[in-house]
Amino acid sequence: MKPLNVADYRRAAKKRLPRGMFEYIDRGTEDEVGLRGIRTRLDATKLEQCILNDVAKPDTSTVIFGEKLPLPVIISPTAVAGLVWHDGEVQLARAARAAGIPFCVATQSMTSMEDIAARAAGTNLWFQLYVFEDRQLTRDLLRRAKALGIRNLLFTADTPRSPKKEWNTRNGFGIPIKPTLAGGLDVLVHPRWSVSVMLRYLMTTGMPTYAHYPPEYRTRITRALVWDNVRLARRLTWEDFSEIRREWDGNLILKGVLSPADAERAMLHGADGIVVSCHGGRNLDSAPVALDALPRIADVVAGRMTVLADSGIRRGSDIVKYLAAGADAVLIGRAPLYGTAAAGEAGATGVIEILREELDHCMAFTGRTRLSEIGRDAIWPT
């Protein structure tokens, strides 16, 4: 039966992927308080239903950084997309292209931005930047992105340490992938993934690597990094952000903002936009959920820069809730990954179409004919 919602795609992904791989993309960190809190807060937020408005054709389009998008949605950067499906980043980029929305390439993707641009020509590509210990290598990434005509840079600043993911220790999965008995058995009982993804890589391009690392620093995903140069920077400050601002002449978006003070500092340091994000419950387990942090941040920004948001979006109504709380658009990560894991490009396209339809329905039920009408008053007061 064709999946009817994102939860259906999640179940299909869980069935097809090895357990370790599925839990790597699906679960949170530590006690998963943050992960549960995201969904609890979204579900507890009610929308005001309004009747007798002309909602025959709600307009779901918006303008972000001067570009008109048919949906207020950007595909988030996700490092393991290339492992849930063969050439998963390309599949996601093609689905984004078909929907007319941006796809953000991850620093740690398995496919390079150049290959994605060539094999998914015409996609509106953004690039996500993690800063390396070797800042020159970071500058090289910026140069490559500029050469491709990429204009929107997503500077991710909320991962100063590798999060504690205890379940991956228990199930034998992690990056780098280390051979274990549990992991080996996990792969054996998921032959569709083993043959169509891992075996296909081994027979064509070889064991996947982080494609954005310079050739001399690339290691297979089964080996730990042996060079400090390409480790993610542990010391990351506002001066680093200012340095990137000086290097990058396109739009610079700071991802991981959860406080009004950081939003103000981002503006002072030249950010064109921010992403209000609790990283989907994958980093600080005690962080506030993005939906709670968003209104205060939006009030401080007061329209002076673009405000994006993410974390936990599974329904079109979730998008409306983020927009009502102050976001101009949202990023979606796990949802399209579930679709890609289930059916490649077709699955990612299916997830985007479900969210588009649900967004249309939610706007109709709340009496909104265009996104600009979705304000704080769309949320039912508690």
Q: Can 279 be counted among the known catalytic residues?
A: yes
- Count the alpha carbons within 13 Å of 65 in the hemisphere toward its beta carbon: 22
For 6-378, which CATH superfamily applies?
A: Aldolase class I (3.20.20.70)
Cα–Cα distance for residue pair 19/370, rounded to 1 Å: 41
CA–CA gap between residue 265 and residue 232 (Å, rounded): 23
Closest of 44, 56, 62, 46 to residue 368, by C-alpha: 56
Which tokens belong to 374?
Answer: 């979705």
Residue 136 tokens, joined: 């020159």
Longest dimension (CA), the chain: 64
CA distance 21 to 14: 9
pLDDT tens, N- to C-terminus, the chain (382 residues): 899 999 999 999 999 999 988 999 999 999 999 999 999 999 999 999 999 999 999 999 999 999 999 999 999 999 889 999 999 999 999 999 999 999 999 999 999 999 999 999 999 999 999 998 888 999 999 999 999 999 999 999 998 888 888 877 777 666 656 666 666 777 777 889 888 988 898 888 877 888 888 776 665 555 555 456 767 778 899 999 999 999 999 999 999 999 999 999 999 999 999 999 999 989 999 999 999 999 999 999 999 999 999 999 999 999 999 999 999 999 999 999 999 999 999 999 999 999 999 999 999 999 999 999 999 999 999 8
Sorted by where each begins, the domain ranges of the chain are 6-378
Pairing of strands 62-64, 103-105: unpaired
Of 190, 212, 279, 361, catalytic:
279
The answer to whether 97 touches 117, Cβ cutoff 8 Å, is: no
State how beta strands 152-156 and 306-310 pair. unpaired
Both tokens assigned to 194 = 């083993």
